[in-house]
Structure 1
């Protein structure tokens, strides 16, 4: 098995398995010996192979063309896209079963993608503060900043040093409990940076159903795109 090793100014080893084909990367402290990194990888071999199998089996969405009556999802619910030409700034409106995208005449697929992506980010920004208000006092932590962005390889990430948390824009497409699970997961990294036994114990304590939500998120189709590293 090929493993990419990246040395960083960090204290702990971090193991990642990336879609779409299960590329493995280990981020290791600058002065950690190669033999120690190799032994660490061997001890996690079963976990790595399990993650690779999940990635290869996960369903992928068809490529979006942003055309009328194309399926799009908002908080886990399916809507049919409706393109409306308007001589004004772009708008997005949720109707009973349609996602209405208002754009200037002649707007191409890139403009449509950008307008809808910006709206999804707005949805996520609005959903996060109430969850922070619920969970930060319970966990006894305080994040410095929440960043919303398109992420190809993760649903979220946390920098325990800066206190910043990043969330994937695509969480606005998934059921709302998936966002809550990812946010709690990243907030707990402010307490325990690694995915060790203590971290899993904290997840079990504060969100006993986290494994079910994680499995649901992993079963849902992921975005279709040309993956690059």
Structure 2
């Protein structure tokens, strides 16, 4: 069976499209981030796929909201024994209650949280969020500097934020790039993919053929990185909501 792929954006939603030798169009929404994938007949063109997605937008948005609701329901209690990921590696949490400043440390295969006694779960999650942001603040400048040189552009500003449905975002006018804090849980090569993806938007706004050609030119394995990024090693164990 022959297949062809496209990458569209419809009403702010990124769509992976696969054209196949099939009779009917199928739309799927997948965890953890609500990725939308369309399997379309080969006789369809991008405009027909875009129209089909627009007609199903209400359903797509409901599915994405259900995924986000499930994620919120699975917020971690931040107690000893829970699993959390850092840079794609699963680590067991150990909580040590003692006076002094709350902070995280890596101890072998464990993630250790030192925290004052009786600190509530919500506050512990806040400490974890801040720690993840600190990890990204150390990693992102190195990657940005590397790809500024590779692509011949500069990134004047970037920000880490918690986003509901995207791993990254870019304002082409201001060249401001945003990174999802959840990227600290993924393999570093996934973070690098997002850096390159968002910087490529400096050259091309949409996810059409030119964008794909540029990505192929500068990061030949970007599809594999994207697949790993959108996979589910986070699942309900570590996804803490948006």
Alignment TM class, shorter chain as reference = 0.7 to 0.9
What residue is the counterpart of 1:16 in the other structure?
13
C-alpha RMSD of the superposition: 3.2
Residue among 194, 219, 227 paired with 2:231: 219
Q: What is the CA deviation profile of residues 171-205 of structure 1, one whole-angstrom value per residue up to 9, with x for unaligned ones?
A: 00011100000110001111111111111100000
Choose which of 114, 117, 130 in structure 2 pairs with 1:105.
117
Name the structure 2 match of 1:199. Answer: 211
Alignment equivalent of 1:44, drawn from 50, 53, 57: 50
Q: Assess if the C-alpha contact under 8 Å between 2:80 and 2:93 holds in 1.
A: yes
Task: Provide the C-alpha distance between the structure 2 equivalents of 1:96 and 1:46, rounded to a whole number of angstroms.
Answer: 50
Residues 160 and 189 in structure 1, CA contact (< 8 A), matched pair in contact too: yes
CA contact (8 A) 2:75 2:239 kept: yes
Consecutive aligned runs of 4 or more in structure 1 exceeding 3 Å deviation:
12-15, 17-24, 39-43, 45-49, 60-63, 221-227
Task: Return the offset for 1:14.
Answer: 4.9
CA distance in structure 1 between the partners assigned to 2:104 and 2:241 by the alignment: 26
Count of residues in correspondence between the two structures? 197
Q: In the TM superposition, what are the counterparts of 1:54-93 in structure 2 within 5 Å? A: 62-93=74-105
What TM-score, normalized to structure 1? 0.75
TM-score, normalising length: structure 2:
0.71
How far residue 217 of structure 1 moved from its aligned partner, in angstroms, is: 1.2
Matched, 1:134 2:124: no
Take 1:183 and 1:205, find their aligned partners in 2: how far apart are those partners?
15
Partner of residue 95, structure 1: 107
CA positional deviation for 1:42? 3.7
Shift of 1:140: 1.2
Deviation at 1:143, TM superposition (A): 1.0
CA distance in 1, matches of 2:123, 2:75: 16
Q: Does 1:169 align with 2:181?
A: yes
Structure 2: gaps (5+ residues): 1-8, 15-28, 37-44
Look up the SS of the partner of 1:138 in the other structure. helix
